Amino acid sequence: VASPQLADLAALTEVVGADHVLVDDDVRAGYEVDWTGRFRGRCRAVVRPGSTAEVAAVVRWCGAHGLAVVPQGGNTGLVGGSVPGPDGDGVVVSLHRLQRFDPVDEVAAQVTVGAGVTLAALHERVRGSGWAFGVDLAARDSATIGGMIATNAGGIRVLRHGAMRAQVLGVEAVLGDGSVVSHLGGLVKDNTGYDLAGLLTGSEGTLGVVTAARLRLVPDPPDRVVVLAPLPSVAAAMALCARLRARVPGLEALEAVLGDGLALVCDHLGLAHPFPADPPVALLAEWAGEGDPPDALVEIFGSDDVLVAADGAGRERLWRYREAMTESISAVGVPHKLDVTLPLGSVAEFADAVVGAVQAAVPPAAVHLFGHLGDGNLHVNVTGVDPDDERVDDVVLRLVADHGGSISAEHGIGRAKVPWLGLVRSDSEIAAFAAIKAALDPNGVMNPGVLLPGEG
């Protein structure tokens, strides 16, 4: 082989097998662009290790050759963290082949799975054990447990069960120096030092590669009711959410679609509009428990316009209006996605202000708002503007910071929001992040250009 680069890659095939080092342009292309189409880069190769030892060998090999490691699971991330940067000096490490699946520990309500297991596969395997996995999100068929840990994914059940960090009892991971750490015992109480699992959760592939995890399971109530209600304003929806949280035990989800969202989904999927006229806010609530829902649920919603479903198909039909927002927006154009949280008391004011602020800054913009209203988490999506026009991101993220919010609720910082991290994290916090990074990834190979300012 003439090129030294290709000769080096040949050495890599000895680690993972020739079938698992992908170098053809056409094959690499799908790994080099993110789900939204906004973030695109280049890599030398896509490598698909089949075991933790192989991941460690790949990370060490990248360290020795000064090549970036870009961990990739389902590539459903929405902030450009799962794709390489533009310089081409990296290797995408696809974790799909890490499919470990231990039997469900029904006594402990825990399970150990490999990083490449998809969320849907986990739900499926746990079903029937009497337990459930507490995180769910619309990308369930592709998103992997490793990616969800790396992003500390939230989703539609955070209200009841918390985000990924609350489910992760321990991880096995390959750190940036190629060493393997593993703590999968799942002990409920275990005060023996730093919480490496907690640290790796939300680290976006910048400290190491998660290869497996010990996960907490939650009870799986037999009965569920979904309500979809039209409301006149975000302020009215927030007030209703507060009453529901105070009076309805067993609430699993409080989600909302604002403005033109319902119309967008109905047009895209050819669905019937759920209400005689599209309301300013469609609020979706799900309750789960045993038997009938509490009277308070009926009392608080009690209106003729409200749609209610208790059977599986009916519930899914109502959820579709909310879950199909992401694909419906992508059908309009490549979006700027700004996943933000506000203090609950400021959500209504922010939602009212953000549309005008974006349209004033970048006049042709269309602003789509939806999200996990019960968590104060809005997904501000902006279409109709150049994907590279960062004025959009700037105006939204500054408005968020002015309202005391966070520039990322659940998707992470990725490549998309690095310039704005300083709006919500102090210099000392960012210096502490950098010190942790230097300790666990001394060669600086793990996903450079993602999360931390001043690299890549």
Give me the half-sphere count of Cα atoms (radius 13 Å) on the Cβ side of residue 313. Answer: 0
Task: Please report whether residue 76 would count as binding ligand 2HG according to CB under 6 A.
Answer: no
Task: Please report whether residue 71 would count as binding ligand FAD according to CB under 6 A.
Answer: yes
Task: Please report whether residue 49 would count as binding ligand FAD according to CB under 6 A.
Answer: no
Query: How do 45-47 and 90-94 pair as beta strands?
Result: parallel
**What are the two backbone dihedrals, phi and then psi, of residue 74, each rounded to the nearest 5 degrees?**
-80, -5
Least distance to ligand FAD, CB of residue 38, Å: 12
Site string for ligand 2HG, 158-197 (x = CB under 6 A): ----------------------------------------
Q: Which two three-digit tokens encode residue 46?
A: 């896509």
Q: Is 333 left (phi over 0), alpha (psi -120 to 50) or beta?
A: left
Task: Please report whether residue 82 would count as binding ligand 2HG according to CB under 6 A.
Answer: no
Q: Say how far apart CA 284 and CA 263 lie, in whole Å.
A: 16
Least distance to ligand FAD, CB of residue 122, Å: 12
Q: Which residue is nearest to ligand FAD (CB)?
A: 147
The option from ligand 2HG, ligand FAD, none interacting with 381 (CB < 5 to 8 A, set by class) reads: ligand 2HG
**What are the two backbone dihedrals, phi and then psi, of residue 49, each rounded to the nearest 5 degrees?**
-65, 150
Query: How far lies 366's CA from each of 34, 281, 289, 361, 381, in Å?
Result: 22, 17, 39, 12, 8
Note the Cα 341 to chain centre separation in Å. Answer: 14
Task: Please report whether residue 157 would count as binding ligand 2HG according to CB under 6 A.
Answer: no
Residue of 110, 144, 167, 328 that binds ligand FAD (CB under 6 A)? 144
Q: Which two three-digit tokens encode residue 270?
A: 């050819």
Q: Which two three-digit tokens encode residue 435?
A: 């010190």
Task: Please report whether residue 326 would count as binding ligand FAD according to CB under 6 A.
Answer: yes
Q: Which is nearer to ligand FAD, 146 or 405 (CB)?
A: 146
Least distance to ligand FAD, CB of residue 365, Å: 21
The option from ligand 2HG, ligand FAD, none interacting with 134 (CB < 5 to 8 A, set by class) reads: none
Least distance to ligand FAD, CB of residue 309, Å: 20
Task: Please report whether residue 38 would count as binding ligand 2HG according to CB under 6 A.
Answer: no
Tell me 104's DSSP state: P
CB count, 10 Å around CB of 228?
A: 25
Residue ranges in contact with ligand 2HG by CB under 6 A = 78, 138, 325-326, 337, 339, 371, 379, 381
